[in-house]
Amino acid sequence: MTAQYIMVVDDEPDIRQLVSEILEDEGYRVVTAENAAKAKELHRSRKPDLVLLDIWMPGQDGISLLKEWRENDTLCCPVIMMSGHGTIETAVEATKLGAQDFIEKPLSMAKMLLTISNALRASQLEKENRGLRKQMSSSLEPVGNSQTMQRLREQAKRIAQHDTRVLLYGEPGVGKETFARHIHALSNRKDRPFVRAALPTNKDSNHSLNNVLFGREDHGKIQYGLLDEANGGVLFLAEIFELDHDTQNRLLNALKENRYMRIGGNDWVDMDITLMASSSHDLQDDVKGGKFNEELYYLLNVVPVMIPPLHEHPEDVPELLNHYVDILTAQDGLPYRHISLAAQNFLRNHSWPGNIRELRNLVQRLLILGTETEVSLEEAEEAVGARIPVFSQEIGHIPESLFDLPLRQAREQFEHDYLIYQLKQADGNVSKLADQVKMERTHLYRKMRSLNVDPKKYGR
């Protein structure tokens, strides 16, 4: 299921059959094309991991086809050229057009397999390097020795044994993507792509969002989408509740059919991915509010995993602090500083409303701004800043005069009681609350958490 996908393009049936059989024996998945037209059809139907392309074919030759793919910006994988009449000039031309390598006929099967293996490895390393540049500060395995983290890692091992959809819940910054990557690294798809969906933030750009996910075809030119990129591997959709209704419906159909159609295209593309998604709040609220497709929710919610906030496993804070000191000094070149035991104990008792993301940012700030080799308790206290508590947990307990309070405390007290009043009007439904107070739900959840407002207390 996770075998790498190779296309063999050659007009000689014997060569197609021989190469196909050998590659399949080596564990690859193989499709064959007898000419350029068939190759283009297969290329549209699924993005290959590698193409073996004969140069001399009736009709459109291999060099012309390679040039067409490059000019249309659809040269999406390594291409190895094959020829029985190869010349240095031809090999140079093919390399300039983007070919990875060049092998001569009659084919040496040992050389062919080595060339293919090297090309696929180089392609995989390039993808991994791009991923590493995006995730320089990420840890492959979630950090922490608390019972909570040990239980989650054991859960990840069990999930990784099954090719199933996973829905990760947790507050912003708890490390949902880190767990998704950890599951991927333990799974049978570990050598295949892990693609994080970087979706457009403009809510009105539905068309653009569909293009990003499903790709686009326009007059024969293919713009590959994230589903193409992730085929054979894992697609991670962060904050999936942000998908608009049209994209939700398209994704639902794709998951039900195990295939999809690019925007503007007419051909189905087979889909072979493990889908993981995350949300910072309970999607059932969105389902009840009519903002998320109920059938899609049940398709995604096969294995729900709750990642707890950092304040629920504070014993992991010292290890996380030291982990990010090591990461930031090694990867970002920041000066090493030791965090004193007193500072670690203080930070262990911090509430961490921004969770692990806040902790990482704090460590980075301490390393950048500090002048001493050790982070003192006073420096840690100053870096965190004093939090002003909200007094009441219910409406009607506002101090006698808000004017006697500092501005920030008075504002937070009013916001706290205002949100409780509005929650009661909305029967505890956060979707309704967001409409009432004219706030985006992610910001609203963050605001309620910072003010210690629990919407579950006010539902009927």
Q: Which of 336, 353, 384 is the last residue of a domain?
A: 384
**Cβ contact 253:213 at 8 Å:** no
Mean pLDDT of the 22-31 span: 91
Instruction: Report the pLDDT value the prediction gives residue 387, as an integer from 0 to 100.
Output: 45
Structure tokens at 85: 């009449």
Confidence at 123, pLDDT banded by 50, 70, 90 = confident
Confidence at 393, pLDDT banded by 50, 70, 90 = very low
Provide the residue type at 126 as one letter. E
User: Per residue in 123-156, is it b (16+ CB within 10 Å) or e — as a string?
Assistant: beeebeeebeeeeeeebeebbbebeebeebbeeb
Establish if 358 belongs to a structural domain: yes
Best CA proximity match to 275, nearest among 329, 332, 213, 324: 213
Torsional sign, CA 458, 238, 191, 49:
positive
In a shared domain, residues 287 and 323:
no
In a shared domain, residues 277 and 345:
no
Residue 39 has pLDDT above 80, yes or no: yes
Establish if 390 belongs to a structural domain: no
CA 276, CA 189: separation in Å to the nearest integer?
Answer: 13
In a shared domain, residues 158 and 300:
yes
Instruction: Report the pLDDT value the prediction gives residue 435, as an integer from 0 to 100.
Output: 87
Establish if 394 belongs to a structural domain: no
Three-state DSSP string of 82-141:
EECCCCHHHHHHHHHCCCCEEEECCCCHHHHHHHHHHHHHHHHHHHHHHHHHHCCCCCCC
Best CA proximity match to 119, nearest among 157, 81, 70: 81
In a shared domain, residues 161 and 253:
yes
Torsional sign, CA 437, 443, 447, 449:
positive
Q: Which domain CATH number covers 60?
A: 3.40.50.2300
Residue 248 has pLDDT above 70, yes or no: yes
pLDDT digits (tens, 9 = 90+) for 298-352: 999 999 999 999 999 999 999 999 999 998 988 888 889 999 999 999 999 999 9
pLDDT digits (tens, 9 = 90+) for 143-189: 999 999 999 999 999 999 999 999 999 999 999 999 999 999 999 99
Residue 207 has pLDDT above 80, yes or no: no
Instruction: Report the pLDDT value the prediction gives residue 6, as an integer from 0 to 100.
Output: 93
Residue 378 has pLDDT above 50, yes or no: yes
In a shared domain, residues 33 and 106:
yes
Q: Which domain CATH number covers 160?
A: 3.40.50.300
In a shared domain, residues 112 and 185:
no
Using DSSP's 3-state secondary structure scheme, residue 306 falls into strand
In a shared domain, residues 171 and 113:
no
Establish if 52 belongs to a structural domain: yes
Q: Residue 87, Cβ neighbours under 10 Å: how many?
A: 9
Instruction: Report the pLDDT value the prediction gives residue 159, as an integer from 0 to 100.
Output: 95
Establish if 141 belongs to a structural domain: no
Residue 202 has pLDDT above 70, yes or no: no
Instruction: Report the pLDDT value the prediction gives residue 31, as an integer from 0 to 100.
Output: 93
Establish if 389 belongs to a structural domain: no
Q: Cis omega before residue 314 (within 30°)?
A: no
Confidence at 94, pLDDT banded by 50, 70, 90 = confident
Three-state DSSP string of 367-408:
HHHCCCCEECHHHHHHHHCCCCCCCCCCCCCCCCCHHHCCHH
Confidence at 388, pLDDT banded by 50, 70, 90 = very low
Q: Which of 260, 281, 306 is the last residue of a domain?
A: 306
Mean pLDDT of the 103-130 span: 83
Using DSSP's 3-state secondary structure scheme, residue 182 falls into helix
Q: Which of 306, 337, 352 is the last residue of a domain?
A: 306
In a shared domain, residues 300 and 317:
no
In this prediction the pTM is 0.62
Confidence at 391, pLDDT banded by 50, 70, 90 = very low
Confidence at 219, pLDDT banded by 50, 70, 90 = confident
Confidence at 392, pLDDT banded by 50, 70, 90 = very low
In a shared domain, residues 180 and 302:
yes
In a shared domain, residues 212 and 356:
no
Instruction: Report the pLDDT value the prediction gives residue 404, as an integer from 0 to 100.
Output: 65
Establish if 142 belongs to a structural domain: no
CA 177, CA 196: separation in Å to the nearest integer?
Answer: 9
Instruction: Report the pLDDT value the prediction gives residue 274, as an integer from 0 to 100.
Output: 93
Confidence at 116, pLDDT banded by 50, 70, 90 = very high
Residue 228 has pLDDT above 70, yes or no: yes
**Cβ contact 241:292 at 8 Å:** yes
| Among 43-47, 151-155, 262-266, the least confident range | 43-47
Instruction: Report the pLDDT value the prediction gives residue 201, as an integer from 0 to 100.
Output: 52
Angle of CA points 317, 321, 323, to nearest 5°: 115
Tell me the residue range of the domain where 320 lies. Answer: 312-384
Give me the number of domains the chain comprises: 4
Structure tokens at 12: 């000689």
Q: Which domain CATH number covers 414?
A: 1.10.10.60
**Cβ contact 429:436 at 8 Å:** no
Q: How would DSSP label each residue in 67-87?
A: HHHHHTT---S-EEEEESS--
Longest dimension (CA), the chain: 93
Establish if 211 belongs to a structural domain: yes
Mean pLDDT of the 36-58 span: 88
Residue with tokens 């080595």: 114
In a shared domain, residues 26 and 48:
yes
CA 162, CA 334: separation in Å to the nearest integer?
Answer: 40
**Cβ contact 63:90 at 8 Å:** yes
Residue 450 has pLDDT above 60, yes or no: yes
In a shared domain, residues 123 and 243:
no
Using DSSP's 3-state secondary structure scheme, residue 233 falls into coil
Torsional sign, CA 217, 218, 220, 222:
negative
